[in-house]
Amino acid sequence: MNETVYKERRDRLLEIMDEGVAVLSTATMQTRSNDTEYPFRPSSDFYYLTGFEEDNSVVVLCKKGDERKTILFVQEKVPEMELWTGERLGVDAAQECFSFDEVYGIDSFEEQIKALLKEQTLLYFDLFNNNKIYTQLKVIANTMLHTRGVNRSPRTFSDITKLTQQMRLIKSEEEVSLIREALVITQKAHHHAMTTCQVGMMEYQLQAEYEYTFKREGAYSDAYTTIIAGGNNANTLHYIKNDQALKEGELVLVDAGCEYGFYASDITRTYPVNGTFTAVQKELYNMILGVQLKVIEAIKPGGSKKELQAFSEKLLTEGMVSLGILEGEVEMLLEEKAHKKYYPHGIGHWMGLDVHDPCPYSDDNGDENLFAEGMVLTIEPGLYLPKDDEKIPEKYRGIGIRIEDDVLITKEGCENLSQGIAKTVEEIESICKS
């Protein structure tokens, strides 16, 4: 994305924050074991404001009267370190490539921040992140408080992510383009995997087909750990062991999406291991698909996630009654929450830089944030019918089905961004057999 996009976001944040200093650091390297580390990925909020991808960096925004100042602290260039871990941008190049007012080496952070905080009483930071920089900030603020001659120091701490996450709720066209790119790759991955899936394959082998496509097509990685759940394993919602064999006559639920340009995709498809749905599987699948299509059709600006949740619960309960999975009056079953046993999760969630984008669902009054153009959310109804549940007809036991797409709210209604990924019985069977 063009550098000006990040500058505009910083300007916007400076506009909505109160007078004070905001400090946001990126993620730190995480140890995998002993001296090996996980691949680094910047924190989403930090990346959103900077476009800067290196670790060990901090962004500071200052607002005082009419004055505004933005500062980036980066790891300085150390040739001996670069030999092992690769080239760094360094202070000078960062100053040139990024439009911050000032750029410094991270080693001068403490000295610089002390000078800035002397002028301010409000300090914004990520209150819920345990990054060591925040311990450092609190120590600095405390020391200032007890230092004679220092008349002003931060006494009010505020959560900066409340503001950044509000900003992240509406996606720009550039952001939506990155999600579209992610979905092009995710579509290839699902379609490729459907053609390779066969009886006797291990779940992790099918997972490898997804990861192979993600990497081959230039995705950064998966956006979350891929779920490959054969048969009854689909009834464990976050099944990621992926270590069982895929069996004849069973379905496999695959929840897999890649991350591209740091933007997520999140897609679930449920398909027959041998390529052909049984009559029973088809009946259940088509009922859930019908619900998913109706929910997507109902999405429009001014609507709300709560409404969609209630609508999906009503439709799935009606469907379960018609198939004999639940018995009784739909209204009564809904009141008793009988459906929750088989549809225990939400209809969807915000998606963006994070698969579960941490944008607010309601405002400070507790009122729901209504849908508006540019929001992106998943729509993922599912039913989970455990193999040992004697209350449901035997033919449905051991089946778990979820169908998940990623949807953009538009001016008039919505656009299903993952429309191209095979979803009907006919489309899936045709790809599985090709």
Task: Point out the residues that are catalytic.
Answer: 35, 238, 255, 266, 345, 349, 356, 380, 384, 402, 404
Q: Which of 166-174, 240-248, 315-323, 376-384 is the region at the interface with Mn ion (rule: CB under 5 A)?
A: 376-384
The least CB distance from residue 312 to ligand GLY, in Å, is 14
Binding residues for ligand GLY, rule CB under 6 A, total 7
Helix axes 279-297, 425-433, angle to 10 degrees: 120
Q: Which residue is nearest to ligand GLY (CB)?
A: 255
Q: Least CB distance from residue 210 to Mn ion, whole Å?
A: 13
266 in contact with Mn ion (CB under 5 A): yes
62 interacts with, out of Mn ion, ligand GLY, none, CB within 5 to 8 A per kind: none
Nearer to Mn ion, 303 or 381 (CB): 381
Please say which residue, 313 or 357, places its beta carbon nearer to ligand GLY. 357
Burial 40-62 (b: 16+ CB within 10 A, else e): ebbbbbbbbbbbbebbbbbbbbb
Q: For Mn ion, which is the closer residue by CB, 137 or 417?
A: 417
Shortest distance (Å) from residue 355 CB to ligand GLY: 6
Question: Judged by CB, which is closer to ligand GLY: 55, or 404?
Answer: 404
Report the site for ligand GLY in 353-392 (rule: CB under 6 A): 355, 380
Q: Which of residues 389-408 bind Mn ion (CB under 5 A)?
A: 404
In the complex, least distance from residue 193 CB atom to ligand GLY, rounded to whole angstroms: 16
**Residue 58 near which of Mn ion, ligand GLY, none (CB within 5-8 Å, type-dependent):** none
3-state secondary structure the chain: CCHHHHHHHHHHHHHHCCCEEEEEECCCCCEEECCEECCCCCCHHHHHHHCCCCCCCEEEEEEECCEEEEEEEECCCCHHHHHHHCCCCHHHHHHHHCCCCEEEEHHHHHHHHHHHHCCCCEEEECCCCCCHHHHHHHHHHHHHHCCCCCCCCCCEEEEHHHHHHHHCCCCCHHHHHHHHHHHHHHHHHHHHHHHHCCCCCEHHHHHHHHHHHHHHCCCCEECCCCEEEEHHHHHCCCCCCCCCECCCCCEEEEECCEEECCEECCCEEEEECCCCCCHHHHHHHHHHHHHHHHHHHCCCCCCCHHHHHHHHHHHHHHHHHHHCCCCCCHHHHHHHCHHHHCCCCCCCCECCCCCCCCCCCECCCCCECCCCCCCEEEECCEEEECCCCCCCCHHHCCEEEECEEEEEECCCCEEECCCCCCCCHHHHHHHHHC
Instruction: Give 355 or 407: the residue with its C-beta nearer to ligand GLY.
Output: 355
Q: Which of 6, 98, 224, 285 binds ligand GLY (CB under 6 A)?
A: 224
Among 45, 222, 259, 266, binds ligand GLY (CB under 6 A): 266
Give 58 or 178: the residue with its C-beta nearer to ligand GLY.
178
Least separation in angstroms between CB 380 and ligand GLY:
6
Which of ligand GLY, Mn ion, none binds 224 (CB below 5-8 Å, type-dependent)? ligand GLY
354 touching Mn ion, by CB under 5 A: no
* Least distance CB 30 / ligand GLY (angstroms): 21
Site string for ligand GLY, 332-351 (x = CB under 6 A): -----------------x--
Is residue 378 part of the contact set for Mn ion (CB under 5 A)? yes
Give, in order, the Cα–Cα distances in Å from 279 to each of 229, 272, 380, 391, 425: 20, 12, 23, 21, 11
The pattern of x and - marking residues 394 through 433 that bind ligand GLY according to CB under 6 A reads ----------x-----------------------------
Helix 425-433 and helix 173-196, axial crossing angle in degrees, nearest 10: 60
CA dihedral 220, 418, 424, 311 (to 10 degrees): 120
Stretch that binds Mn ion, among 17-25, 112-120, 260-268, 339-347 (CB under 5 A): 260-268
**Closer of 123 and 228 to Mn ion (Cβ):** 228
Task: Give how many residues touch Mn ion by CB under 5 A.
Answer: 5
Question: Among candidates 264, 290, 314, which has minimal Cα distance to 401?
Answer: 290
Q: At what angle do helices 173-196 and 203-216 cross, to 10 degrees?
A: 140
Residue closer to ligand GLY (CB basis): 124 or 224:
224
- List 255, 259, 313, 405, residue binding Mn ion (CB under 5 A): 255
Contact partner, 429, from ligand GLY, Mn ion, none, Cβ < 5-8 Å per class: none
**Binding site residues, ligand GLY, CB under 6 A:** 224, 255, 266, 349, 355, 380, 404
**Binding site residues, Mn ion, CB under 5 A:** 255, 266, 268, 378, 404
